[in-house]
Amino acid sequence: MQLSEQELVRREKLGKLRELGINPYPADLYPVNHTSKQIKEGFEEGKRVVIAGRLMMIKVQGKASFAQLQDADGKIQVYFNRDEICQGEDKTLYNDIFKKLIDFGDFVGIEGELFVTKVGEKSVRVKNFTLLSKALKPLPLPKEKDGIVYDAFTDPEQRYRQRYADLVVNPQVKDVFVKRTKLFNAMRQFFNDAGYFEVETPVLQPIPGGAAARPFITHHNALDVPLYMRIANELYLKRLIVGGFDGVYEFSKNFRNEGMDRTHNPEFTAMEIYVSYKDYNWMMDFCEQLLEHCAMAVNGTTQATFGDHEVDFKAPYARVTMADSIKHFTGFDITGKTEDEIRQAAIDLGIEVDNTMGKGKLIDEIFGEKCEGNYIQPTFITDYPKEMSPLCKEHRDNPELTERFELMVCGKEIANAYSELNDPIDQRERFEHQLKLAAKGDDEATEFIDYDFLRALEYGMPPTSGMGIGMDRLIMFLTNNQSIQEVLFFPQMRPEKKQVALTDEAKAVLDTLKKAEKLTLADLKLQSGLSNKKWDKSIKELTKNNLAKVEKTEEGLFVEVV
């Protein structure tokens, strides 16, 4: 493992601390009795406090120093005075330990008293401090000069990989996850107040059911059987309705072995709720009341900003049938049309189709391409064709449709709900039709029949309405984040490239190259501002470590990032 110069220095300091008899990682309880927020809210000059956190932005000024201490609630200024800390002749604690062996990022405990500085800042005058944990790697703190911020920790890939550092140096990131927890708590409270029961269902399943998605597959050695990571929990929750629960819900970790982009992660969180003796009309009312409640709990208002849009989650929401939506935006009426007619309409609309697509998939493509993106304010799209909804009850007024809605916000689906299919014979036929579509090549059709679920339905399931909400996507809307990676603590990432310790000159050249992606060798050298000797050393360092490559073309020598 190659260490940077700063990392080597910190390890030297670690050794010196131990030589002085100081344990840099003590096991003792530290008796914290205040947080930075409590100090500011209940400030009393002269009050004694015990606090702990990371030391940030240390500014040493001879025998007196200022620093910021950052804890879970925020930051507070702390003031170190040599003669306050070292009452006797021995000034080692300040002169040697604090000034020379403590670094920003170290965790310290502080005993002190509150005072206000000459410029009016609430602060803690340190009477004693204890090293609680020595940081061996410097935090990627931004630098500021003349009001301009440099080296901010903003690269998304580094932030997601090192979320622990991201949370420390970018405090606003923490606010997103505080709001995420508020969302879950608000939703849970809403369901509990309604009398519904939170449950847990299996993550490892013998059959991946409840959705059409490619599963992750594992193997149980003792049983010698394949098992599948949950793609949805729907069929298990319905089994509980069969078993006599009137209303059940679950915050479910689901796993789908599919692509990754700004709105999809292989591991995600969904909430599903099922309530007996209800239908999808009731669920629409319930959904809009739920989301209004959640928006207020998270942001204190029903309004939320998402990109360029102002969205209002105040109930009620508009309701539009899928057929009316397609007719409005394309002029084509899907009602009563055959699969061939719908395929031709899709082609005429410039939508790419193939022979594996059945009627439902074709309609879904038309809606997705031509309609979905137009719905900015929360809108219920209702009454989906039967081919699109194998677990949904047939519409009471039109046997070609189902009693289903999806809630659209800013052109994205965040909720999906049905009047649940509880006819076991109809359900079996729908499953069998899905198998035929899968055999035809439709990658969104399910390849499995859950015979145990069919057996459960044969015992009788009452009329039921169910709804699923993508929790990650919902919190994206409530916190104005365009990428799902911003609302997941630890999103899935590609394998990390081996980190190479570079000289400062080589880092500067690489940063210049990254901004341009590709430059002539002469331009890159000119922009680097390095002497010939340092330039030669830096470019060799980058090419040797396979971070940059030089290519000879008819136009000259070019350098680009590998």
pLDDT at 269 over 70: yes
Least confident of 133-147, 165-179, 300-314: 133-147
Residue 78 has phi, psi (to 5 degrees) of -125, 145
Q: What was the pLDDT predicted at 267?
A: 96
Q: What was the pLDDT predicted at 150?
A: 67
Q: How confident is the model at residue 181 (pLDDT cuts 50, 70, 90)?
A: very high
Q: What was the pLDDT predicted at 62?
A: 87
- Coil, helix or strand for 299? helix
DSSP letter assigned to residue 251:
E
Residue 453 neighbours by CB under 8 Å, 6+ apart: 209, 235, 238, 239
pLDDT of 234-250, one tens digit each?
Answer: 999 999 999 999 999 99
Q: Point out which residues pair with 64 in neighbouring strands.
A: 61, 81
Q: CA angle 72-73-74, nearest 5°?
A: 100
Residue 273 neighbours by CB under 8 Å, 6+ apart: 191, 196, 247, 248, 249, 466, 467
In a 13 Å sphere around the CA of 438, the CA atoms on its Cβ side amount to 16
Burial profile 313-323: b = 16 or more Cβ within 10 angstroms, e = fewer? bbbebeebbbb
| Contact criterion met (CB below 8 Å) for 74 and 36 | yes
Mean pLDDT of 444-461: 91
Q: What was the pLDDT predicted at 518?
A: 75
pLDDT at 499 over 70: no
Average of per-residue pLDDT values in the chain: 93
What proportion of the chain, given as a percentage, has pLDDT over 90?
A: 74
How far from the centroid of its chain's Cα atoms is residue 527's Cα?
37
Closest CA relative to residue 304, chosen from 86, 545, 499, 477: 477
Torsion over CA of 404, 405, 411 and 412, rounded to 10 degrees?
-80
Which amino acid is present at 203? V
Strands 217-220 and 204-205, bridge-based pairing: unpaired
